[in-house]
């Protein structure tokens, strides 16, 4: 007697409305938490350091946007590949694709961390740091450059995790 349980992929069988809710709610919660983090961060920096600290975070922000954009590019590709392979029933290829995307995200995160750290001062000047803001931007940028790897993985893998956990 075969006791194997076959799991049916809900992407092919569930109602569209239910699927939208299943995938939209975690996305909305993620965006709200991210927005609250940024708001609270700016309040604490403004209270503790002042307007120069807030200016420094705005100068460094394009670097984080670049890192997040690249990781989302990789993550979106991984999700598309994952969805196609799961739709075909090829879970082995789907797992390999996700593993490859994680490796690429780690490599890109490390490269960006190194580049941002090496070229931090010219990047800060390029993104608008004044003489007053530059020391604060350099301090903040060094800290942020170390976290780029983790931010890249977080941003890129969030969609992959939604697909994996919502199936």
> Residue 43, SS3?
helix
What are 11's two structure tokens?
Answer: 């992407």
Count of residues in the chain: 167
Domain boundaries, the chain: 51-166
C-beta neighbour count of 67 within 10 angstroms: 24
d(CA 75, CA 36): 23
Lowest mean pLDDT, pick from 35-39, 51-55, 92-96, 125-129: 35-39
CA distances from 57 to 28, 61, 149 (A): 24, 6, 18
Q: Say what the pTM is.
A: 0.73
pLDDT in tens, 5-64: 566 767 678 888 888 888 788 778 878 887 888 888 889 988 988 999 999 999 999 998
């Amino acid at each position: 007697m075969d006791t194997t349980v076959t799991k049916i992929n809900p992407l092919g069988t569930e109602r569209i409305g239910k699927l939208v809710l299943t995938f939209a709610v975690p996305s909305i919660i993620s965006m709200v938490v991210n927005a609250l983090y940024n708001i609270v961060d700016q309040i604490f920096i403004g209270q503790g350091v002042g307007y120069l600290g807030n200016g420094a975070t705005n100068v460094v922000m394009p670097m984080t946007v670049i890192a997040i954009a690249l990781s989302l590019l990789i993550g979106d590709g991984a999700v598309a590949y994952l969805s196609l392979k799961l739709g075909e029933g090829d879970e082995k290829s789907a797992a390999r694709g996700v593993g490859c995307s994680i490796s690429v995200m780690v490599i890109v995160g490390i490269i960006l961390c190194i580049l941002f750290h090496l070229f931090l001062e010219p990047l800060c000047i390029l993104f608008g740091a004044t003489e007053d803001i530059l020391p604060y931007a350099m301090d903040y940028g060094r800290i942020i450059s170390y976290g780029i790897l983790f931010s890249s993985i977080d941003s890129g893998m969030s969609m992959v995790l939604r697909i994996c956990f919502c199936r």
